[in-house]
Amino acid sequence: MTGHNQQITAPQITVPQFHGFKQAGHKICVVTAYDYPTALLVDAAGVDAILVGDSLAMAVQGHSSTLPVSLDEMIYHAEMVGRAVRHALVVVDMPFPSNHLGPYKAVESAGRILKETRCHAVKLEGGADQADVIKALVTAGIPVMAHCGLRPQSVHVLGGYKVQRNEAQLMADARAAEEAGAFAMVLECIPAELAARISASVGIPTIGIGAGAGTDGQVLVINDLLGITSGYVPRFVKAYADLKSTITTAVGQYCDDVRAGKFPGPEQTFK
Ligand code: KIV
């Protein structure tokens, strides 16, 4: 395992480098990870940032929304990811409702994330409504990625996971997040043309998911990217592998071998 780590020679990506990426037109690649082996692999593959998303509630824990995951559970998973990563910037989601309990509590929760994991920044859902929290976190030395557009933690207010089209609100959120000190923002489920206009109107990088190709970077949930999503796959996903078949085929072959007495064979047996 340590051998993997030693293969990574590229230096650690920093928060200030994100600004440079936008200016240089370098498209920022972000993917989620929730555990040590996956984080090792995606880091070695050369992503710019890894998000320990609260999507772990759905992707790993099997819940039907992101709401149930706790701060302790986020820290548990972020610690595994932080231990693996040598190159990418690691951003951890603030789980519901940790950023809605006022700036003091938000700093306490985000402070735990940075102290107890080796991760570098937090992400919170919100824009203008979270400006005071973003300011407090940045003042405390905690880099913040905002998350505007579709906010999965507000699924019950929104009445479902719907494309967000309120241009005035989205522009105001993006500008407020930048003004409050966010170093980047996720734009989720926004029409492509609007997301491109938002990206052009802010100085910080925008990372899109379901927001077209005009954002400064893209993020995908690793389960979706690898084709191991259980259940509904959103339209904006592209699977780059079919690991669901690979895994079920491999495990099926193992079962066949065990049942046929072919595993373990002589190579796997001590004399
Ligand atoms: O939790 C998550 O994985 C996210 C991404 C989908 C942006 O917030």
- Asked whether the CA dihedral 162, 163, 167, 170 is positive or negative, the reply is positive
Across the range 194-198, mean pLDDT stands at: 98
CA–centroid distance, 221 to ligand 1, in Å, is 7
| Residue 200 reports pLDDT greater than 70 | yes
**pLDDT, averaged across the chain:** 96
CA–centroid distance, 237 to ligand 1, in Å, is 12
State residue 231's pLDDT score. Answer: 87
Decide if 56 contacts 33 (C-beta within 8 A): no
State residue 3's pLDDT score. Answer: 44
DSSP code for 126: B
State residue 55's pLDDT score. Answer: 98
Nearest-angstrom CA–CA distance, 166 and 206: 17
Q: What pTM was computed for the model?
A: 0.95
State residue 1's pLDDT score. Answer: 37
Decide if 147 contacts 168 (C-beta within 8 A): no
Cβ of 32 below 6 Å from ligand 1: yes
Across the range 218-239, mean pLDDT stands at: 96
CA–centroid distance, 262 to ligand 1, in Å, is 43
State residue 247's pLDDT score. Answer: 98
State residue 230's pLDDT score. Answer: 87
Nearest-angstrom CA–CA distance, 137 and 117: 17
- Amino acid identity of 36? Y
Local confidence band at 235 (pLDDT 50, 70, 90 cut-offs): very high
Across the range 74-91, mean pLDDT stands at: 98
Give yes or no: 188 in active site. yes
Across the range 43-69, mean pLDDT stands at: 98
Local confidence band at 53 (pLDDT 50, 70, 90 cut-offs): very high
For the chain, where are the alpha helices, taking DSSP H only?
2-7, 15-24, 36-44, 56-59, 71-84, 103-116, 131-139, 155-158, 167-180, 192-201, 222-226, 243-259
Residue scoring higher pLDDT (19 or 66): 66
